[in-house]
Structures are given as C-alpha cells and as structure tokens.
Amino acid sequence: MKTFAISGRCIATPPPADWREQLAQMLGTKPRRIGTWAELGLYGALCCMADAGEKTLPQDAQLWLASRRGTYTATGIVLDQLREDLPMPLAFLQTQPNQSLALLAAQLHWQGQACFVAGAKPEALLRLAAAQAGNDGMLLGWVDEMAGGETRWLRLQPSHDAIEGYVEAAAESLLSPHVSHVRLADKGMQVRLAGQASLNLGARGVEW
C-alpha cells in the first residue's frame, strides 16, 4: 500500500467572488494573455501551496492536472473563429491545457514531470501519480470553468508513519476537508480523518 499525508489543499467550488483579485495579489500582478481555465488553475494551485506552507515545488515532486471539460470556453471561441478564418494565435494558445502546467512550473520555480489528464476522477488521478511519485510527493489538481468554476488541489507527501485509524471510503472523499491521510489499496481507497473526526464517508463521499 502507498500512503500519503495531505499537507495542503484548496477546494474552491465555486471560488470566492474576489478570486481574481486574490490571484493578482499572489502573483504580484494581474495575469495577462491567459484564459479563465488557466487562471482558475493558478489560483487553486497557489492557494494549495500556501496552505501547505510552500512557495516552491520540490524538484522531485510531480504535477498532475485533470479536468472534465478542459478548455471548453476557449475551444468554443476558436471553433467560431475557424468558421470565418484562421483562429487568432492568443485564442488558440488558450485551448492548450498544458499552458497551465507551464505557467505553474514557472511560478513555483519547478522543473519536473507534469501531466494533464482529461476526465480523470480523484482516485484515478491519484493512482496514476502515485505509481511514479518520488520522495517529494505530488501536487494534484482538478479544474473546470463551467457553472461558476471550480478549482480543487491537494498537496500530498509520502507518509511512512505507522498510523492506525484508516477506514474504507468512497474515492471522492479524497477531496473532503476532514481527510488528513489517504492510503491506496490494490482495490479501493482508505482514509484517515483529521483528529479522528466523525464523518460518514460511505458510498457517496464528497459530491463529484
């Protein structure tokens, strides 16, 4: 089994009304020439890293990003432009999900393995990343811009402590703010609650 401690998180579904102002403060300037999807990714990841008490991502850490619809809005704009002529270069750039990974890598002063995965749910993304995770763990994100937007991020560190108190849980419970550790079994997932809080993590877990 692989076990990870959740050292930081950002669960913004939807993000607060002033999230763009908060992002500009974190970056030191208002972001330019990027779309809403990439902005949401930056906001959530930087909030998560701040919650973990980190300003940079260690070089041995991995960066994984998933989305149900990806750059949905930007892609629609480019398709509309194609009906008239070639798409504008900036509009086309905003359709590329890996733009967010490059922006995050620069902001976190990090070079390493990064990957975008379309449609991956929490446990699927965690298993993909965990199979290749090193000593510095991973930064995982799920970002979508529909219905007000959502940006969910976890900073996970490998845990070798012999901690008891794990319970079987639905995969989506990984994103619960009450979970402090997660353990991957051959099938399914186990979690440990922060302070052993009482919480029903059954079949539904956290709505996904």
Give domain status of residue 120, yes or no. Answer: yes
Question: Phi and psi of 154, rounded to 5°?
Answer: -135, 135
pLDDT digits (tens, 9 = 90+) for 140-175: 999 998 888 899 999 999 988 767 788 898 877 888
Residue 148 tokens, joined: 């007000």
Give domain status of residue 199, yes or no. Answer: no
CATH number at residue 30: 3.40.47.10
**Domain span holding position 14:** 7-158
Rg (Cα) of the chain, in Å, rounded? Answer: 18
Give domain status of residue 142, yes or no. Answer: yes
Q: Specify the number of domains making up the chain.
A: 1
* Edge-to-edge strands, sheet with 138-144: 114-118, 62-67, 138-144, 150-158, 2-12, 179-184, 189-193, 167-169
Q: Which of 30-39, 44-53, 60-69 has the highest mean pLDDT?
A: 44-53
pTM of this structure:
0.85
pLDDT digits (tens, 9 = 90+) for 13-42: 999 999 999 999 999 998 888 888 899 999
Confidence of residue 45 (pLDDT cuts 50, 70, 90): very high
